[in-house]
């Protein structure tokens, strides 16, 4: 996919193009979401080892990760037919409102589409954010191991 270069002084990369960041990325995602670091490393290693096309994407300010997201089979919901799922979307608070999440989402969707993987799904409790980037509300989905439902979005 290649490094998408600089935008607003920030650098956007597919982790496959910067594999040396794998451990730092797994640690960063773990700190943001509380999912075990080993779970992130497992998914990242599968991507770096080319056993999956489901990637990981980062926004860097110098050598510091300031935003990121991944793509996995299922993001802890019961609708196994709605796959793949964008997951772990996060932008550091002081970097928000700069379009970082939107740029990362576009990278992921474009990368998957280049591999004929479409549509793509995303689970969230946010409203209004993802619609700005071409995502459409699809349905409510039950969470795994957690009572309640979350919003499922689709990007076609």
Q: DSSP letters along 14-71, please? A: EGGG-GGGHHHHHHHHHHHH---HHHHHHHHHHHHTTS-S--EEEEEETTEEEEEEEE
Going by pLDDT thresholds of 50, 70 and 90, the confidence category of residue 5 is: low
pLDDT tens-place string over residues 23-33: 999 999 999 99
Average pLDDT over residues 19-23: 98
Q: Please report how many Cα atoms fall inside a 13 Å half-sphere around the Cα of residue 39, on the Cβ side.
A: 16
Q: How far apart are CA 46 and CA 57, in angstroms?
A: 14
pLDDT tens-place string over residues 36-72: 999 999 999 999 999 999 999 999 999 999 999 999 9
Q: How far apart are CA 60 and CA 151, in angstroms?
A: 29
Check the CA dihedral 127-70-107-64 and report its sign. positive
Domains of the chain: 5-118 (3.40.630.30)
């Amino acid at each position: 996919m290649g490094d998408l270069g600089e935008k607003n002084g920030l650098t956007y990369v597919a982790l496959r193009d910067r594999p040396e960041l794998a451990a730092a990325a797994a640690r960063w995602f773990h700190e943001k979401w509380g999912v075990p670091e080993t779970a992130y490393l497992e998914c990242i290693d599968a991507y770096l080892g080319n056993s999956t096309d489901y990637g990981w994407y980062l926004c860097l300010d110098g050598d510091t990760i300031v935003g990121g997201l991944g793509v996995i089979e299922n993001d802890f919901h019961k609708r196994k037919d709605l796959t793949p799922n964008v997951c772990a979307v996060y932008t550091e608070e002081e970097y928000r409102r700069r379009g970082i999440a939107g740029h990362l989402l576009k990278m992921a969707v474009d990368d998957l589409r280049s591999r004929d993987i479409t549509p793509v799904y995303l689970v969230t409790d946010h409203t209004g954010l993802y619609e700005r980037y071409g995502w459409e509300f699809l349905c409510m989905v039950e969470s795994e191991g957690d009572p309640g439902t979350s919003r499922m979005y689709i990007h076609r």
